[in-house]
Structure 1
């Protein structure tokens, strides 16, 4: 009887001991490939994302047109914030499509969900990601869009790896980043990237440039696919 009692007490402990240990979170970087990593914009500044002059400054409608979204596509808005791009993306892919909206700040996700409810959109799946893991399902996305967010990644290698795994065959990662080559773009230097720097970092992570659009007022727009894809 005594042995049975001891076994009952020990079994849960043994089960926990046999579980694989959770890998430690990689250390956050302050620099990557010679570039200073910018701080993530705080959720309390979310109103800046929906400012009235953003269309004029960034040519947002043209940028979204260049994504070539179609009904039924599965896409991701990485660093979605309060859904400035997520909502139009969901409208473009329609009820048969899907948008994964990823952000590391739960407060942003709350605001995004509120906007989606107001619009009656049900095709958005929100995800509270981690700084080193986008938490996207494998083989789930035709396109992953990152607008002015990649330069803030404290774990760029791990985040790109997660996004690469999420791509369907032929899928792409689209970076939209303020141009570091243009001094007229009124953005802090750490929130800008040059084409040379973007290409350097994407190549280091197994991505190749497949298409680019140079017609935006302030930003680069570059589409990358897997370098080893046939």
Structure 2
């Protein structure tokens, strides 16, 4: 019992912190701070939310042009870049220069040459041409954006006709939305729902620009 009680206390404390964060995030939306980049790019994170899920969900292929909204330190960027190489490339977009600096270090370490970091606000004007991208995705980022529908409209502007957008969410994220909530946002931005992969707690939703 002396082992179980401390463990129970830790679980209760973690749940309490999670609830507090959930309440805070409902009224104050902000991106994950750059100083947690190492944790976001950790092996446990990749086991919980494997980058291959996105590659398979979008059907990425060599030569594809991809954009990532909220790339962070490159947790998913590198796998996606490898999937579309040698002729494809990835526009890695983030609102924080600190995250892009970590991304640059990680892609340099992996000798990845087909990733192009872009400092931009997804709910504003991303400096890419209209209908210039085949696939766009975001991972636990969309709920952090105050104007989600505005951001999705910008995503739609960048996508080619028939292009796909994937949103991946994880229940451990304080901003985790129900799948139906994301579908409502996407519908309001003019997207058509295609499919859902994963589970209720760890899902990927795929939408198309018709």
Count of residues in correspondence between the two structures? 184
Given candidates 159, 164, 167, the residue that maps to 2:156 is: 164
**Equivalent residue of 1:210, what SS?**
strand
Given candidates 203, 211, 226, the residue that maps to 2:195 is: 211
Deviation at 1:108, TM superposition (A): 0.8
Aligned to 1:224: 207
Instruction: Return 5+ residue gaps in structure 1 as ranges.
Output: 1-34, 179-184
Classify 1:77/1:131 alpha carbon distance in 2 versus 1 (closer, same or farther; 3 Å): closer
Deviation at 1:212, TM superposition (A): 1.8
1:166-181 alignment runs, 5 A limit: 166-178=158-170
Is 1:61 equivalent to 2:52 in the alignment?
A: yes
CA RMSD of the aligned region, Å? 1.9
More helix per residue: 2
Cα displacement string for residues 160-194 of structure 1 (whole angstroms, at most 9, x for unaligned residues): 1211111012101111123xxxxxx4443xx1111
Instruction: Return 5+ residue gaps in structure 2 as ranges.
Output: 1-25
TM-score (norm. length: structure 2): 0.80
1:1-230 alignment runs, 5 A limit: 38-130=29-121, 132-133=123-124, 134-178=126-170, 185-188=171-174, 191-213=175-197, 215-216=198-199, 218-226=201-209, 229=210
**Equivalent residue of 2:43, what SS?**
coil
**Equivalent residue of 2:183, what SS?**
helix
TM-score (norm. length: structure 1): 0.73
Classify 1:105/1:202 alpha carbon distance in 2 versus 1 (closer, same or farther; 3 Å): same
8 Å CA contact 1:76–1:99 kept in 2: the answer is yes
Cα displacement string for residues 196-219 of structure 1 (whole angstroms, at most 9, x for unaligned residues): 211211111111101221x25832
User: Counterparts of 1:44 and 1:125 in 2: how far apart (Å)?
Assistant: 22
